[in-house]
């Protein structure tokens, strides 16, 4: 969907974000690189006593009629052709704490403990109930214990991590403790999803640019058809979207794309074209097709793990989405929405810009924008998005 151009246009319009954001890109990951120091003196040479002993041993083998055996070369030594870069020596464990009704449990205390080297870590779940702990030892069984006021403690089975593994705990459903006599719960998934959408409609980059189509909760309730249309129409009537489209229309006027006339009339036509492109794309790719195909049009923020795993997650989002059943599916909604929107643009673009070439050029641009949008959401925009 054509959301990236609107983010960029709006950000330029307010002279914010674009100069500051690249400075922070990958700052967390790059800050954890190990420091390599070079020794001031070469390693100690073998002592004469060791050399004499080794020669004597070889001589005895020769007298006994034995062929001296060459020493095996360390495969990881500098001269070995089989040396390989070391694998990551730690792993991560994360998850989302919920109650038995699927509601998040913020502020839960999460303890990671192993029974071998007595490594103990403690973290606190955020406002969405999400938690994570990195740099955990490999090959050691960890158990995760979660406690929260008014709930019975929850303990996971033993977890043994592999190099670089990001392990997500599922079904962390805390039971209400016996002494609690009353709790407030939602009666259905529809009410939970409605409240989540209300919160998403307040998500804005730097408190200004709308960033509604991102899920920071790793276990959200599925959207109903009504909520999918509500979210799409809420975005399209946002004043910042109109300002962003106007900014992009000015750029298009400067480079004479599409081939409208210059002046106020041409600016108005380009403004209408810019808004129509975004409206049809979000309507079909974010509401109509997701409702028919039972797919979720939002981006699921990962926010933890290695740069490689997060990058793979973001790139896959352009082609893989979550279904309303919680399973991964081919993203027919966004792909189909881009194709339909590009085809409809033939109805209002100038004749010199129409044709099959326009459809596929617009489709490729939309696909590239979805890839760029996912990467920006994963590594940049999440840090600057104000959440309620």
In a domain, 163, yes or no: yes
Residue 72 forms part of a structural domain: no
Same domain, 338 and 369: yes
CA distance 124 to 183: 22
If asked whether residues 250 and 292 sit together in one domain, one would say: yes
Candidates 19, 1, 75; CA nearest to 380 is 19
Q: For 351-378, what is the mean pLDDT?
A: 92
Confidence of residue 27 (pLDDT cuts 50, 70, 90): very low
Among 150, 174, 198, the domain boundary falls at: 174
Q: Is the pLDDT of residue 69 over 60?
A: no
- What percent of the chain has pLDDT above 90? 54
- Alpha-carbon span 79 to 15, nearest angstrom: 54
Nearest in space to 154 (alpha carbons), one of 106, 102, 97 = 97
Averaged over 17-45, what is the pLDDT? 40
Closest CA to 134 of 24, 22, 28: 28
Of the candidates 116, 146, 174, which is a domain's last residue? 174
Q: Which of 188, 304, 283 is nearest to 228 (CA)?
A: 283
Among 143, 174, 205, where does a domain finish? 174
Residues 6+ positions from 320 with CB-CB distance below 8 Å: 328, 329, 330, 331
Residue 22 has pLDDT above 60, yes or no: no
CATH number at residue 136: 2.60.40.10
pLDDT at residue 251 tops 90: yes
Residues 169 and 192 in one domain: no
Query: Which long-range contacts does 239-244 make (Cβ < 8 Å, 24+ apart)?
Result: 240/10, 240/208, 240/209, 240/210, 241/6, 241/10, 241/210, 241/275, 241/278, 242/275, 243/9, 243/10, 243/13, 244/5, 244/6, 244/7, 244/9, 244/10, 244/13, 244/209
Residues 149 and 196 in one domain: no
SS3 track for the chain: CCCHHHHHHHHHHCCCCCCCHHHHCCHHHHCCCCCCCCCCCCCCCCCHHHHHHHHHHHHHHHHCCCCCCCCCCCCCCCCCCCCCCCCCCEEEEEEECEECCCCECCCCEEEEEECCCCCEEEEECCCCCEEEEEEEECCCEEEEEEECCCECCEECCCEECCCCCEEEECCCEECECCCCCCCCCCCCHHHHHHHHHHHHCCCEECCCEECCCEECCCCCCCCCHHHHHHHHHHHHCCHHHHHHHHHHHHHHHHHCCCCCCCHHHHHHHHHHHHHHHHHHHHHHHHHHHHHHHCECCCEECCCCCCHHHHHHHHHHCCCEEEECCCCEEECHHHHHHHHHHHHHHHHCCCHHHCCHHHHHHHHHHHHHHHHHHHHHHHHHHHHHEECC
273 part of a folded domain: yes
Do residue 207 and residue 102 come from a single domain?
Answer: no
User: Are residue 128 and residue 19 in the same domain, yes or no?
Assistant: no
d(CA 35, CA 30): 11
Instruction: Work out the average pLDDT over 340-360.
Output: 92
Identify the band that residue 42 occupies on the pLDDT scale cut at 50, 70 and 90.
very low
Q: Verify that 305 and 328 share a domain, yes or no.
A: yes
Mean pLDDT of the chain: 80
Do 306 and 164 touch, CB atoms closer than 8 A?
yes
Query: Total domain count for the chain?
Result: 2
Q: Is residue 248 part of a domain?
A: yes
Flag whether 167 is in a domain: yes
| pTM (predicted TM-score) | 0.56
Q: Are 175 and 151 in contact (CB under 8 A)?
A: yes
pLDDT in tens, 134-155: 788 888 888 999 999 989 999 9
Q: Are residues 214 and 320 in the same domain?
A: yes
pLDDT in tens, 258-302: 999 999 999 999 999 999 999 999 999 999 999 999 999 999 999
Supply the pLDDT for residue 304. 87
Q: Which domain holds residue 122?
A: 90-174
Question: Is residue 251 domain-shared with residue 117, that is, in the same domain?
Answer: no
Tokens read off for 30 = 């790059």
Average the pLDDT over 322-351 and give the result. Answer: 94
pLDDT of residue 337: 95
Instruction: Give yes or no for residue 222 having a pLDDT over 80.
Output: yes
Q: Quick check: 126 pLDDT over 90?
A: yes
């Amino acid at each position: 969907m054509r959301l990236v151009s609107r983010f960029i246009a709006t950000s330029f319009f307010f002279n914010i974000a674009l100069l500051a954001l690249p400075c922070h890109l990958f700052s967390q990951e790059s800050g954890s690189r190990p420091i390599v120091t070079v020794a001031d003196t070469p390693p100690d040479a073998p002592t004469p006593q060791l050399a004499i002993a080794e020669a004597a041993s070889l001589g005895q083998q020769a007298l006994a009629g034995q062929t001296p055996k060459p020493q095996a070369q360390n495969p990881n030594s500098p001269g070995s052709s089989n040396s390989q870069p070391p694998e990551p020596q730690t792993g991560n464990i994360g998850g989302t704490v919920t109650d038995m009704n699927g509601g998040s449990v913020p502020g839960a205390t999460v303890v990671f403990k192993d029974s071998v080297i007595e490594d103990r870590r403690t973290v606190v779940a955020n406002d969405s109930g999400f938690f994570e702990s990195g740099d955990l030892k490999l090959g050691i069984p960890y158990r995760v214990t979660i406690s929260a006021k008014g709930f019975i403690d929850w303990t996971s089975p033993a977890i043994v991590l592999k190099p670089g593994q990001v392990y997500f705990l599922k079904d962390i459903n805390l039971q209400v403790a016996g002494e609690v006599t009353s709790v407030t719960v939602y009666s259905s998934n529809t009410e939970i999803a409605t409240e989540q959408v209300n919160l998403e409609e307040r998500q804005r980059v730097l408190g200004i640019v709308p960033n509604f189509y991102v899920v920071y909760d790793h276990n959200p309730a599925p959207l109903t058809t009504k909520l999918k249309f509500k979210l799409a129409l809420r975005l399209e009537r946002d004043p910042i979207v109109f300002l962003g489209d106007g900014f992009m229309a000015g750029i298009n006027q400067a480079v004479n794309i599409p081939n409208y006339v210059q002046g106020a009339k041409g600016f108005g036509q380009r403004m209408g074209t810019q808004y129509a492109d975004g409206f049809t794309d979000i309507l079909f790719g974010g509401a109509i097709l997701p409702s028919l195909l039972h797919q979720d049009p939002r981006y699921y923020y990962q926010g933890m793990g290695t740069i490689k795993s997060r990058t793979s997650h973001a790139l896959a989002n352009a082609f893989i989405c979550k279904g309303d059943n919680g399973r991964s599916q081919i993203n027919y909604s966004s792909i189909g929405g881009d194709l339909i929107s590009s085809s409809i643009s033939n109805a209002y673009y100038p004749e010199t810009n129409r044709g099959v070439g326009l459809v596929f050029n617009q489709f490729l641009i939309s696909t590239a924008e979805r890839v760029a949008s996912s990467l920006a959401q994963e590594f940049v925009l999440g840090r600057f998005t104000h959440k309620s």
